[in-house]
Structure 1
Amino acid sequence: MTERPPTLDAVAQRAGVSTGTVSRVLNNAQHVSQKARQAVERAIEELGYVPNTAARSLAARRRGAVVLAISSEDPALTANLFFAEVITGVNAVIEETDLQLLLVLAASQRGQDRFTRVLHAADGVLLLALREHDPLSKLAADSGLPVVHGGQPLGHTPRHYVDADNRGGARLATEHLISLGRRRIATITGGTDQQVALARHLGYREALALAGLSEKRLAHGDFTESGGAAAMTRLLAEHPDLDAVFVASDAMAAGALDVLRERGRRVPEEVAVVGFNDIVTAQHTQPALTTVRQPIEALGREMTRMLIRLINGEQPTSLILPTELIRRDSA
């Protein structure tokens, strides 16, 4: 078998620096410490690394920015803890490079026009929270820039994406409720135009099917606290006998807990509740929320690392991040 040549990542690991630092050394950037420069040069020599000339040429033409486009028009989006954590992860990696981060909310036509304009100033694109047939996918693809998706859009699998094990995590949550002896288990899903919502619903259904339980107790939400409250209200009206609910996000679970408390339904004694994401507030709901943890900040970091590798001329593979059940008081 032919030995694969060393990569930029291998050089960075050997030198103990970021890939962005290696790229700056290769491109003779001025603001690199002498210590880092020497470490990179030593790693290159030890590994026999040969820089990709096409990537070097691309680097020379860089515009110096990365676009993070989110399919939303909500100006309060950064207050949403999920998106806030993703952005924190993205920014942590961007800080290691010479790149600037441009954030665009682009669900409306006006937002899409703005997205198209900023692409001319960008070296790569990160896409997040896309919906079915979302025009952002085509706009990004038509730009010819490297593109990395956060999650998989409904209807197609992009070439480069970072996602969490949504299906497996939802199955784990539902299996936990079953293990507690709950048999009338409802679910509150996300929007039906998002792959993440369908994957979590599928995991729920799989667990119930294996246990021979009914999956008829369902209400659709929208990944917001108010949406979760409205969905919980509908579930209680239609299925007052429910004894557990798997909620497809912590924000919706917080709304569901409020409604259960208002209706005098004790959690977890009468109704056990499990959420998904493990945002910070999951620890502070009443009662504290049992949930499925996905590494949200790591999602942002890995998306950005993948994009930088693409910008540097490499071809990384897509990545699925693991999820785990975090047990607290609600189930």
Structure 2
Amino acid sequence: MNRPVTVDDVAKHAGVSIGTVSRVINNAPHVSRKARDAVERAIDELAYVPNKTAQSLAGQRRGSVVLAISSDDPGLFANLFFAQVVTGVNAVVEETDLELQLVLAASDRGRARLSRIFKARAADGVMLLALKENDPLSALAESSGLPVVHGGRSLDSEPRFYVDADNRGGARSAVEYLISLGRRRVATITGSQDQHVGVARYLGYREAVVLAGLDDSRVAHGDFSEAGGAAAMTSLLDRFPDLDAVFVASDAMAAGALSVLAARGVQVPDEVAVVGFNDIVTAQHTTPALTTVRQPIDALGREMTRMLLRLIDGDTPTSLILPTTLVRRESA
């Protein structure tokens, strides 16, 4: 290799988890002889030199990681996006000896709880999700001295370590697809504009429409919720009754938009084509089934956790932007 061999390299070579490699390096118990032998062979074959700093920190570890979400909405996990991210995070954590702590930290009370965890050194690392512009949660985590991985990016600064999806490119491809169908009066329902994801998907819409020489004024702002999508769709139909397509920045909002179109007697896709974003399970069960942009939500959670584990083990991973793909169903 032209770069230093990392714990991740050893884990892949041995066919085991990063946590297993770490336990072998630090002579921790509860490792099978088969796994230990595989790791030791990989270390020899790759000429891996353990990170002494990471080894010295191993004895100080608390055995847990935190997933902090910038929300205090009690209905948060009704949004299947968050449920799928947590599922992905938990799947990787379960491969280690670590415990997962989930903290909803949008309120002062939630952030105070997180601050107590940091001050007590009761965690080995933290993952942040759903940050808003100038979110105090980011500064709190970054000042903790712990490894920090961001799920997505923020509007005010780009974190050093993050995993994100290609939100802008995915949105652009969705709108380009609508235009390829002959739609010329394409509207959008945006996500929250105080979040990077909402702004990125709106910019993707604008790029596609403007490059096609079309009007980009058919816009209504939503909040990623089904109710927000319904309200935004109502506003669009009232202001732009001639629209023939709508790109919606999340599947939850698209479900709300479809309910309004049905109530107004608008035929989908004959009169108005609809494309969402995320490809949560709901997208397959709307009427009609939703054409949408699939982002790898479970993989987002998994890669965030793997990145955090590498930081805990003393490695320096590279931030990731995961690809998106258009999934065609009956709504467009």
Q: Which TM-score bucket, shorter chain as reference?
A: over 0.9
CA distance in 2, matches of 1:73, 1:173: 31
> Which residue in 2 is equivalent to 1:186?
187
Task: Report the equivalent of 1:35.
Answer: 34
The aligned amino acid for 1:96 is: E
The answer to whether 1:8 aligns with 2:3 is no
Give the AA of the match of 2:186: I
Partner of 2:155: 154
Aligned counterpart, 1:115: 114
CA RMSD of aligned residues (A): 0.9
Determine what percentage of the aligned residue pairs are the same residue: 74
1:213 is paired with a residue whose SS is coil
CA distance in 2, matches of 1:191, 1:154: 12
Q: What are the ranges of 5 or more consecutive residues in structure 1 without an aligned counterpart?
A: none
Cα displacement string for residues 133-153 of structure 1 (whole angstroms, at most 9, x for unaligned residues): 000000001101000000001
Q: Determine if contact 1:67/1:118 at 8 Å carries over to the other structure.
A: no
Query: How much does 1:82 deviate?
Result: 0.1
**2: CA distance between counterparts of 1:329 and 1:3?**
49
Q: Is the 8 A contact 1:170 1:200 kept in 2?
A: yes
Instruction: Assess if the C-alpha contact under 8 Å between 1:52 and 1:313 holds in 2.
Output: yes
SS of equivalent residue, structure 2 residue 73: coil
Q: How does 1:70-219 map to 2 (within 5 A)?
A: 70-119=69-118, 120=120, 121-219=122-220
Name the aligned partner's letter for residue 266 of structure 1.
Answer: Q
- Matched residue of 2:293: which SS? strand
- State the shift of 1:106 in Å: 0.8
SS at match of 1:55: helix
Q: Give the C-alpha shift of residue 78 in structure 1.
A: 2.2
Q: Distance in 1 between matches of 2:246 and 2:2?
A: 52
**1: distance between equivalents of 2:209 and 2:241?**
19
Amino acid across the alignment from 1:268: P
| Residue type at the aligned position of 2:115 | T
> How many positions carry a matched residue from both structures?
330
**1:32 counterpart letter in structure 2:** V
Residue 323 (structure 1) aligns with: 324
| Aligned-partner Cα distance in 2 for 1:5–1:277 | 36
Deviation at residue 4 of structure 1 after TM alignment: 2.5
Name the CA distance, whole Å, in 2 between partners of 1:284 and 1:217. 27
Where does 1:215-294 land on structure 2 (aligned, <5 Å)? 215-294=216-295
**Which structure 2 segments of 5+ residues have no match?**
none
| Partner SS for 2:326 | strand
Q: Structure 1 stretches (4+) deviating beyond 6 angstroms?
A: none
Q: Is the CA contact 1:146–1:310 (under 8 Å) kept in the aligned structure 2?
A: yes
SS in 1 for 2:11: helix
Tell me how far apart the structure 2 counterparts of residues 79 and 67 of structure 1 sit (CA, whole Å).
21
The alignment partner of 1:103 has SS state of strand
Q: Which residue of 2 aligns with 1:49?
A: 48
- The CA distance in 2 between the partners of 1:181 and 1:190, in whole Å, is 25
Q: Distance in 2 between matches of 1:235 and 1:242?
A: 8
| TM-score of the two chains, using structure 2 as the length reference | 0.98
The answer to whether the Cα contact below 8 Å between 1:90 and 1:304 also exists between their aligned partners in 2 is yes
Deviation at 1:47, TM superposition (A): 1.4
